[in-house]
Structure 1
Amino acid sequence: MSLSAPCPSPALSSSRAERGAAARGPAVRGPAAQVAQTCDVDEQAALLQGWNQRYEQLSAGSFEGRVTSLHLGPIQAWREFSSQALHQTGALRAGQLAIGLPSSIPGNTMFCNRSCSEGHAIVFSGDGPFEFVSPGGLEIIDFVVDQGSLDPYLTACEREQLQAQLAQPHLRPVSAHERWRLPILLSDMQQCLADTTPDTLPPQQLDEMASDVLAAIAAVLRDGVGSEADEQLSYQRRAHIVSMARERVVATGADGSLTVEDLCQALAVSRRALQYSFQEVLGISPQSYLRAVRLNGARRAIKQGSSVSDAALAWGFWHFGRFAQEYKALFAELPSHTCKRYR
């Protein structure tokens, strides 16, 4: 199902890893990463495969460019640097969508005749061409996915609201939290590849990686989507929503696969209503609550004899260093210390 198709409620049986596997594709054994240096704008444009892109240099001086690319099945990611101001034109393949996030805005930046600021995400979508004027010294990350692969990470209501918005390339306001989530993910993915060879990464680790990328892209797209009615719920109604959500989490069982999207569909509430309810009743977001459930599950698995890495993967944590940080933040000890105490 794509964002342009009718939007019935999805089944709640697929796990995070299964959703990531569906996006990653069965033929991919591991992500491939490359770093390329260029001294010509045409060489730089050619490195972004599938964009049908053309660069024109606007500022004077020799050109220096760099593209770090990472492919995880149909998910493609780039970190691109250009030393000179450029006029970029192009179009994505049909059915694809890309999110661009500049690290900073060092000068005049225009996208499709609109001024771009650091509070914007650049959305390359729809069938129309795009036009991008970028300043010298710009570094930007781009993630490209098949648009339909985002469906499991959006509610039916969100897909309906986004359908018209994604018909054309555009700038999208984005919160600081969501703005930095994708760059951090890209850095974590690159670190995983630096620590090991791609073909030795377990398939489940790759699937969780893909799932986190798709969830982060969906979060950028839906940032700000909602209605004012979500803010008018009484405390009793919000407490009831939280109670039903916790019952759903318990009933799902011990794999941590339940997502915020699943809760919204199961409880027939919007994401914003769920967010406000958890924040008022428990003082945390539903995403933080589900992450705490997964961390607690991993802790129990370690106490019962699982290795730290097996427990992390079983509960959806593919970056072991970040898992250790989040584990320590919640439990005031590293997972390795828990492991030693219960052996």
Structure 2
Amino acid sequence: MSAAAKPMDAGGPIASTAAPGTTAPFSYTLRDTLDADEHAACLSNWQQQYDQLSAGLFAGEFEEFCFGRVQLFREALNQSVHQAGIAWPGSRTVAVPTVIEGTGWFGGETYSADTMLTLGSSDELDFRTPRRLEIVACTADTTALNTYALQVEHRDLEAELSGRTTVPASPQQMADLGALLTTMMASLRATPDLLRHPQMRTAMEQALFATLLNTLPPAAASPSLAPSCRTRQFIVARAREYMETHIDEPITVADLCVKLGVSRRTLQYSFQDVLDLNPVKFLRAIRLNAVRRALKQAGGNERATVADIAARWGFWHLSHFSADYKAMFGELPSETLRRSG
């Protein structure tokens, strides 16, 4: 790792929205730290103070991606520290440990490998870490996240999390969130410049929000009736009509929920019943076909790349995209582009 930050824009790191004075759409920071104060200063737009508690040389690692209304970060510490401070205004943070030795203390509760942390912008950070800790975390704009939760899942997430510092979650739910954050950061680390595409930023933001909602269980599950057969058929018809009139846009499940005024669960019921295919797979098929057409049209352009074209259609995990593309069409996207040329 580099010993210095590597911002990917001239304006320096940004937080959930572009920082004051900069219009940069994203930033990337990668840093090794040798001091608790230095480490505390890494996190963009937070106010923090770290005090080292255990004896020994301090060695930390910090990595951060900021884009749109999202801040992803990973931090690793080899000493126990006390973290105090606050996050940026109007934000919600969720974090899971990927490496932990011992137990800590967070907001008045014991912290262990089974603990998922959450912090609102008005909550005070009060964290005594274990001796060795590595966490991955997502800080998102509260309004954007809660609007998504209301429109897509019909949940008031902020009301559910109000006053909470830890969230009960199963090992599988924590593993799923940790895997998504780790995979997303690895993908961005390999190709950070793809974040210049707004479609890529939107797709990653919605993937994060969807996984966060799956990971954060509702305070009380409310039973809901499945829509009638006629209603399901009507929902699918309206969805397909919307997709046909927006054929050149990378439509997402969240887009359909908002436009149709239905929850993700209702959309799932309807597509599964009428088309025998869930909406995620259906939209993925539509987007894969759109990418294939774009690859064939770009064959004569020497500057065209598979990664850029895939990013314009919201495919942020390139290896998964290539595998899905080959499974659908029997060839790699690079082969389509090369043959077209």
The answer to whether the superposition gives a TM-score over 0.5 is: yes
User: Conserved in 2, the CA contact under 8 Å of 1:105 and 1:117?
Assistant: yes
User: Residue 85 of structure 1 aligns with which residue?
Assistant: 80
Cα gap change, 1:330/1:304 in structure 2, threshold over 3 Å: closer, same or farther? same
Compute the displacement of 1:192 (Å). Answer: 1.0
Distance 1:295 1:129 in 2: 45
User: Conserved in 2, the CA contact under 8 Å of 1:141 and 1:183?
Assistant: yes
Q: Given the alignment, which residue of 162, 166, 175 partners 1:171?
A: 166
User: Conserved in 1, the CA contact under 8 Å of 2:152 and 2:254?
Assistant: no
Structure 1 range deviating more: 33-42 or 299-308? 299-308
Compute the displacement of 1:129 (Å). Answer: 0.8
Compute the displacement of 1:202 (Å). Answer: 7.7
Distance 1:312 1:136 in 2: 42
Matched, 1:184 2:183: yes
User: Residue 302 of structure 1 aligns with which residue?
Assistant: 295
Q: Once superposed, which parts of structure 1, at least 4 consecutive aligned residues long, lie more than 6 Å away?
A: none
Distance 1:93 1:271 in 2: 30
Q: Secondary structure of 1:66's match?
A: strand
Compute the displacement of 1:294 (Å). Answer: 0.7
Q: Secondary structure of 1:165's match?
A: helix
Distance 2:70 2:238 in 1: 31
Cα gap change, 1:29/1:164 in structure 2, threshold over 3 Å: closer, same or farther? closer
* Aligned-residue RMSD, C-alpha: 3.4
CA offsets per residue over residues 112-171 of structure 1, 9 Å max, x none?
233445565422214121322322221112333332343563334757521313434522
User: Residue 8 of structure 1 aligns with which residue?
Assistant: none
Structure 1 range deviating more: 134-143 or 29-38? 29-38
Q: Secondary structure of 2:210's match?
A: helix
Q: Given the alignment, which residue of 76, 82, 98 partners 1:103?
A: 98
User: Residue 313 of structure 2 aligns with which residue?
Assistant: 315
Cα gap change, 1:340/1:185 in structure 2, threshold over 3 Å: closer, same or farther? same
Cα gap change, 1:270/1:47 in structure 2, threshold over 3 Å: closer, same or farther? same
CA offsets per residue over residues 243-265 of structure 1, 9 Å max, x none?
33542453332224322223223
User: Conserved in 2, the CA contact under 8 Å of 1:179 and 1:220?
Assistant: no
Q: What percentage of residue pairs aligned between the two structures are identical? A: 33
Distance 2:324 2:159 in 1: 38
Cα gap change, 1:57/1:177 in structure 2, threshold over 3 Å: closer, same or farther? same
Q: Secondary structure of 1:128's match?
A: coil
Distance 2:201 2:287 in 1: 18
**Corresponding letter in the other structure for 1:331:** F
Matched, 1:253 2:252: no
Structure 1 range deviating more: 70-79 or 86-95? 70-79
Compute the displacement of 1:327 (Å). Answer: 1.7
TM-score normalised by L of structure 1: 0.75
User: Residue 15 of structure 1 aligns with which residue?
Assistant: none
CA offsets per residue over residues 311-343 of structure 1, 9 Å max, x none?
424422356555323322433320122234445
Q: Given the alignment, which residue of 244, 264, 270 partners 2:263?
A: 270
How many correspondences in the alignment? 313
Where structure 1 has 5 or more consecutive residues not aligned to the other structure, the ranges are: 1-21
Cα gap change, 1:93/1:310 in structure 2, threshold over 3 Å: closer, same or farther? closer
Cα gap change, 1:202/1:100 in structure 2, threshold over 3 Å: closer, same or farther? closer
CA offsets per residue over residues 205-226 of structure 1, 9 Å max, x none?
2x23432342233224422348
Distance 1:109 1:313 in 2: 40
Distance 2:227 2:44 in 1: 51
What does 1:233-244 align with in structure 2 at a 5 Å threshold?
A: 233=226, 236=229, 239-240=232-233, 243-244=236-237
TM-score normalised by L of structure 2: 0.76
Structure 1 range deviating more: 287-296 or 167-176? 167-176
Cα gap change, 1:279/1:291 in structure 2, threshold over 3 Å: closer, same or farther? same
Q: Say which structure, 1 or 2, has more relative contact order (CA 8 Å, 6+ apart).
A: 1
Where structure 2 has 5 or more consecutive residues not aligned to the other structure, the ranges are: 1-15
What does 1:1-343 align with in structure 2 at a 5 Å threshold?
A: 23=17, 27-29=22-24, 31-72=26-67, 75-116=70-111, 120-150=115-145, 153-156=148-151, 158=153, 161-172=156-167, 173=169, 175=173, 176-193=175-192, 203=196, 205=197, 207-223=198-214, 224-225=217-218, 227-230=221-224, 232-233=225-226, 236=229, 239-240=232-233, 243-244=236-237, 246-279=239-272, 282=275, 284-305=277-298, 307=304, 308-309=306-307, 311-318=309-316, 320-343=318-341
Distance 1:278 1:122 in 2: 35
